Every structure is written in structure tokens, then in C-alpha cells.
Amino acid sequence: MLFNKMGMNMKKDKTQVSNSKRGFLKGLGAVAAATPIIGSMFGSDDANAAKADHEMYLRGTYFESCTCDTICPCLLLLDPTQGYCKAFLTWNIEKGHVGNVDVSGLNVSMWLNAPQNLLKGQFEMAVYIDERANNAQFNALREAYHGAYGGHLGVIASLGKGAEGAPREYLPTKRAKITYMVNSPSRHVIVEGIAENKMEQLAGAAGRPVMVHDTPLAVAPPYPITVSKASKLTYNDHGISHSWEGGNGLSSPFVYRDGANKQQAIEV
């Protein structure tokens, strides 16, 4: 009888995990399908027209590194290499607006700690907004990166800490001097007094970069992801001290728009 109950519980748990994966992938797919690749470098008139049609529209480039081995198994919804995934991400917003606030030219960084398989959520997250942002820009970007406008940022926010049905919990958002540098094949960001992230992209066939695409998990679908190796990642804030070398590095263009998956968030 006990064996039967255990078997039933195992089946139930597997069904719940399977349903969770399907729901998460459905959310990612819906956002990716609604995010066309507009011009090789976002330079077309169509891109600007699309920008005007949405309450939130952000486009630019981003990169991140984490504690996983290259290539990060989280991209395939597998367990993180270390059992957890601690990452630091930075976005350079080339063009964009949130509501009626223009946020073009600003940078945003994020500390993220996923304590187990990413599908299980409960991420610890802290957002850092470019010190050049005025109060309206700061508030607009904080809301966007807390998932208030939905879209893919809402999908990411939905995995944050918090009880089911309750607001997602973030560490307090801060202003910071963010220096974002891309000198291919190197990428380097310094968040003054808080973090540093440096990586070099891997060399592939004929000297071309190593790239992956169509992964079920991505920070910026549907764009192909360039794979790097991180030579330095340090983070010190909110009572957290983290240092890692030789981890995974990822980079790509991004386009984020408002949409479903809107979230409520609190800072704790």
C-alpha cells in the first residue's frame, strides 16, 4: 500500500513538473513568436514603427555570465552545473521607451541567483539602473524589469521569489555607474563598487563565433546566442559576496515588448 502511494505521488510530482515545463515553454514561445527579428542591427524604419506601437519597447544588446560550465545546461532546461546558477546580466538599451518615458542609451544590470533548476523559480534578483537615468527613467525601468509590463521581462520576473499568487520579491533597486564595453571578441561590464563581468567569445569553425539558437530557455529569444567563456565575475552587494572564474558567457541582441505575463513586485 505504501509503495502504491509512493508511486502515485511520484507520478503526481512528475505530472506537475511536466505541466510546469509546458506552461513555461508555452509562455516563452508566445513571447518569442511575438518578437520578430527586425533588421540585422535594428536600423530599419520598421523597427521604429514597431517601437511606437507598444507601451513598452526596448531593443539593444545584452551579455551575461554565470556559474555553469560552457555551454550552460540551463538553456536546455537541464539542472545547473553546480546545482544552482548565479549570474550577472547587463543590457545596453540602444532605443526604447517605457510608457511615455524615453530610456534610449541607458544600461540596466541584474544579479540573479537561481537556487535549483530554473523552472522551479524562486530566483533572488537585484536590479541596477544607470546613474544617468532621471527619476522618471529610473522608475520606468524598475517597473519594466520587475515585470509590470509583461512580455519576456514578465516571464523572467514570474520566476522570482514569492509565494504562489503573491507579488514577486526583489532586492532593493539601486542606481549605479554602469560601464558597458564590447570590443569583439571581448565583453566587459563594470558596475562601480558592485560588480565586474568580463568574457571572451569562443572561436568556432573558420574563426567564426560559436553560436546556438532555438534553445528552449533564453534571456532574449528568438535571437541566436553567442557563446563565451567568462574570465571574471565578481559581485558584492546586499550582503552577498560572489566571485567566479571560467564560467559560461552568453550574448545576443534583444527586443522586449509589453504583453501577457504582467507581474506585481515588491522590494524586500
Q: How confident is the model at residue 98, as a pLDDT?
A: 96
More confident position, 35 or 190: 190
Domain membership of residue 15 (yes or no) is no
Mean pLDDT of the chain: 86
The mean pLDDT of 208-222, rounded to a whole number, is 93
Q: What is the pTM of this model?
A: 0.85
Domain membership of residue 6 (yes or no) is no
Domain membership of residue 1 (yes or no) is no
Domain membership of residue 247 (yes or no) is yes
Domain membership of residue 14 (yes or no) is no
Domain membership of residue 3 (yes or no) is no
Domain around 208:
21-267
Q: Of 2-11, 90-99, 104-113, 135-144, which gets the smallest average pLDDT? A: 2-11
Domain membership of residue 168 (yes or no) is yes
CB-based burial label for 122 (10 Å; 0-12, 13-18, 19+)? middle
**What would the pLDDT profile of 88-98 be if each residue is shown by its tens digit?**
999 999 999 99
Q: Helix 151-158 to helix 135-145 angle, to the nearest 10 degrees?
A: 60
More confident position, 93 or 3: 93
Compute the distance between CA of residue 59 and CA of residue 175 in angstroms, rounded to an integer: 21
| Whether 117 contacts 21, CB under 8 Å | no
Total number of domains constituting the chain: 1
Buried b (16+ CB within 10 A) or exposed e, 222-235: bbebbbbbbbebbb
Q: How confident is the model at residue 207, as a pLDDT?
A: 85
**What would the pLDDT profile of 127-159 be if each residue is shown by its tens digit?**
999 999 999 999 999 999 999 999 999 999 999
Domain membership of residue 193 (yes or no) is yes
